[in-house]
Structure 1
């Protein structure tokens, strides 16, 4: 998966987990070059964007702020 493909998939998240499909999408995105998000999602952002950010941050992929 390329960075461009992973970034395009980030826009596919909906407002819910779509019967588990969102988890599959999240794991697929994480197989690409990380981190895929360039900045911290806003407090009212999609929960899946926040989850992607948090998982990459917990893995130490973002510089300490």
Structure 2
């Protein structure tokens, strides 16, 4: 994996919207530094970085970045208690004809 992806993934999931302005700005900067498109390996690692909410829209940026890689990144329907962003990725892959509902 490229250095920029490793740096982002090593920080763990995105913070929630209660995080400091500095923390959110730092994570946004890290995310935007990742060159597009991502590889399949990078997309699978990045999928683990969704936090508990949309983090002021940063989660959408992460979702769109993941979608630049080979799709679908999720090959099975997420469990009912999975992160909402995993469900969103899955629904978008199904609607785009990349995955079959299962």
Give the shorter-chain TM-score range: over 0.9
Gap regions ≥5 residues in structure 2: 1-37
Gap regions ≥5 residues in structure 1: none
Name the TM-score, length of structure 2 as normaliser: 0.61
Name the TM-score, length of structure 1 as normaliser: 0.94
Return the alpha-carbon distance in structure 1 between the equivalents of residues 85 and 94 of structure 2.
14
Determine which structure has more spread, i.e. the larger CA radius of gyration: 2
2:93 pairs with 1:56: yes
Q: How does 1:1-65 map onto structure 2 within 5 Å?
A: 1-63=38-100
Contact 2:39 2:70 in 1 (8 A): yes
Q: CA RMSD in A?
A: 1.1
Return the alpha-carbon distance in structure 2 between the equivalents of residues 27 and 52 of structure 1.
9
Count how many residue pairs are aligned between Structure 1 and Structure 2.
Answer: 65
